[in-house]
Amino acid sequence: MIARETAAIVMTISVALGVAYVGLANAQNATDASVAEPQYINSFYSVDSAGKLIELERDTVTFRAKSKVLPGYASVKLESEFKPAHASVRLPSSAQFIVRGRSVINPASVYELRVLKTSKDHRDFVMTQSHGSVFGAAATSDPDEGAVSIRFEEYGTNSYRIVPEHPLAPGEYALAFRGMVTEIYCFGVGQ
């Protein structure tokens, strides 16, 4: 008799635990499903406080070389350039971003956020500078120049949330796949 009652209690507890586990699993899946994620890998969006994705301005980069030649000296600067001088998408200084493409690779080695320089009709950033004289030549390339410190958090099932370490100063910015600056996602902060 005691064995039957014990077996019934064990069975009741097992069923209750199974139902609770299924309920928790469904709740987790419902949470993941309710988070809006970008449709395509390596595409960037801003996300507002309500979780709505905001499409960023997608630009294709033009490369331009500037040179200065003087007797006995020359310098060359390779810049990436895109027009107009200001992005059409304007965000608050506390903006956060989403990129689809979660993997086992450290996202800080894959994605970057950088500040852009502006002029009256375009935005740009310097990729390489070189100079030479009759005595020698040198070239410099600093991939971290203009980089903004960011951290990554898992977001949904396939994406990362990109959070700047500090509020963004007014200016023009670009998110990109590190090392591939042919296509970038731009936005501005402030007017």
- Check if the beta carbon of residue 162 is closer than 8 Å to that of residue 110: no
For residue 36, the 8-state DSSP code is -
- H-only helix segments in 35-131: none
Q: End-to-end CA distance of the chain, in Å?
A: 80
- Check if the beta carbon of residue 164 is closer than 8 Å to that of residue 111: no
Share of the chain above pLDDT 90, in %: 34
Question: Token digits for 18?
Answer: 């199974």
Neighbouring CB atoms inside 10 A of 170's CB total: 9
Q: What is the pTM of this model?
A: 0.71
Least confident range of 50-64, 66-80, 125-139, 147-161: 125-139
Question: Token digits for 142?
Answer: 């600093």
What pLDDT, in 10s, does the model give residues 40-95? Answer: 888 899 999 888 999 999 987 776 777 777 777 777 766 777 788 889 999 999 99
Output the CA torsion sign for 30, 33, 36, 42.
positive
pLDDT of residue 53: 94
- Cα(162)–Cα(86) distance, rounded to whole angstroms? 22
Q: Is 165 helix (H, G, I), strand (E, B) or coil?
A: coil
